[in-house]
Amino acid sequence: MATTGNTKWAALTLFLIITCCPSCSGQITPDMIKVLLNSLNINEKASFIAQFLIDNEPIFNQLETVLVAGLPLLSLEANYPKGLFMNAVVPWALSHAPELLQSAEFVGIMQRFVEEVNKVNYEKLDTNSTDRFVSGLFSSMDWLSFIEKVLSLTRSQYSIRGLLPYNKNHTLNYQCYNDTMDFVERLLYGSDWAVNIFDAIGKPTTGIRQGVMHFIGTYDQCMNVKAKLNVGLPLGPDNNTIDRQFGTKYCRATFPLPQSIINDVAGENVNHTFGIPLRLTWGLCLPDSCSEEDISGLIHLGKLYTYINVLQTPG
């Protein structure tokens, strides 16, 4: 390896870290690795990588196997002269990979995954096969604990209001919007009253392909809910600032269905309605600050509006 002076020692240090001291990873910071890499020019890096692969034949063979297995991907765009996937999507993904790997969200999720992996009692797993060992490792993980930790991380960093911002241009009064967002935030935390509201909302049932499009919900359960938000209660990344309560009301919303959706869902039963147009009836449980006019405003929030437009576009 053609290196001189300090770069020689930098390359040697990097080589030792990678090959001989996996336990040192906790002592070596990313900034230290960056300093070592920055001390090598492009030729020295290429020479170092080549020598590393020559000295570590199993790793070279694994990389070669992955490369050969991925060769068919190069022919996927044979019939597409523009080659947008290889010429645009792949470079875009590679350029954003460092951003993803360094993001606090990704690192936080991976940290919690590593925590759960290392909780597994591996002594009873089959160590004679890597595949069986890893399969047993994943099977023994507490996935519910991992999901809960990820949800907790997500709740602490993101707000439903950020995903579905208020739009004063739509017919939606702010109190209805505010109460609804608080309901969704507390639903993510599993608050009993929020779960009861969600449970009272109508949901798809059996027989949809036979024209059962009435998702009624539960009137009595909805009308008996009393939402309670105490000071300091987490609402996404923020905390509630005042004690307050609100009641709920039950209502039914009716939506016309595009013919393309009817055709896809009903299939061979599409003509069994005898000319009667199918409409979706949805039983909703909403804060009592919401009115009939607010329903349209709620379903036009943020990305919901985009999804609804897609559904209503003839296909």
Q: Which has the higher per-residue pLDDT, 146 or 208?
A: 146
pLDDT digits (tens, 9 = 90+) for 164-205: 888 776 778 999 999 999 999 899 888 999 999 999 999 988
CA separation (Å) from 219 to 156, 181, 223, 250, 288?
33, 21, 6, 6, 14
Q: Which has the higher per-residue pLDDT, 39 or 95?
A: 95
Q: Please tell me the number of Cα atoms within 13 Å of 115 on its side-chain side.
A: 13
Query: Among 311, 300, 288, which Cα is nearest to 169's?
Result: 300
pLDDT digits (tens, 9 = 90+) for 247-290: 999 999 887 777 776 666 666 655 555 666 677 889 999 999 99
Q: Are 243 and 231 in contact (CB under 8 A)?
A: yes
Question: In 3-state terms, what secondary structure has residue 67?
Answer: helix
What is the residue extent of each domain of the chain? 5-117, 122-157, 165-312
Query: Among 288, 212, 276, 281, which Cα is nearest to 250's?
Result: 288
Q: Which has the higher per-residue pLDDT, 18 or 29?
A: 29
42 pLDDT higher than 60: yes
Give me the mean pLDDT over the 29-33 stretch. Answer: 71
Question: What local confidence, expressed as pLDDT, does residue 104 receive?
Answer: 84
Res. 292 pLDDT band, cuts 50 70 90? confident
Separation of alpha carbons 111 and 250, rounded Å: 43
As given in the structure block, the two tokens for residue 224 are 């008996």
Q: Which has the higher per-residue pLDDT, 249 or 74?
A: 249
12 pLDDT higher than 70: no
Res. 18 pLDDT band, cuts 50 70 90? low
Give me the mean pLDDT over the 60-69 stretch. Answer: 89
DSSP secondary structure, 248-302, as one string: EEEEEEEEE--HHHHHHHHGGGTTTTTTPPPEEEEEEEEETT--HHHHHHHHTSH
Separation of alpha carbons 55 and 16, rounded Å: 12
Q: How many whole angstroms from its chain centre is CA 78?
A: 32
Q: Which has the higher per-residue pLDDT, 265 or 76?
A: 76
Q: Please tell me the number of Cα atoms within 13 Å of 108 on its side-chain side.
A: 14
Percent of all residues in the chain with a pLDDT value above 90, rounded to a whole number? 28
Model confidence, pTM = 0.58
Res. 50 pLDDT band, cuts 50 70 90? confident
Question: What local confidence, expressed as pLDDT, does residue 139 receive?
Answer: 92
109 pLDDT higher than 60: yes
As given in the structure block, the two tokens for residue 121 are 């009692």
